[in-house]
Amino acid sequence: MSDRENKLVQSYEFAARMLRIMKKAAREAQMENWRYGLPNIISINHRLYYAMPDGRMLTQEQYDLERQK
């Protein structure tokens, strides 16, 4: 394996490790939000959705109405 190929493989391995670390951190943050009763905010097609701890998915408008109650 050439030096260039070796560096490329190392770069892919590093990127894969970083991705695993970041996904784990994101999952832990989501679980912590839910433990505190907070929603996780998700953007789908530039529209915000709120994933509530009880499993409901609310649009931003629905979430704002619920907060006003």
Per-residue model confidence as pLDDT tens digits over 49-58: 999 999 999 9
Model pLDDT for residues 15-56, shown as the tens digit of each residue: 999 999 999 999 999 999 999 999 999 999 999 999 999 999
* pLDDT at 1 > cutoff 90: no
Nearest to 64 by CA among 41, 45, 43: 41
CA distances from residue 36 to 19, 55, 58 in whole angstroms, order as listed: 26, 14, 18
The reported pTM is 0.73
Number of CB atoms found within 10 A of residue 57's CB? 13
How many beta carbons lie within 10 A of that of residue 60, not counting itself? Answer: 12
pLDDT at residue 11, rounded to an integer: 96
Q: Is the pLDDT of residue 59 over 90?
A: yes
| Separation between Cα atoms, residue 50 and residue 62, nearest integer Å | 9
Give pLDDT, residue 69: 80
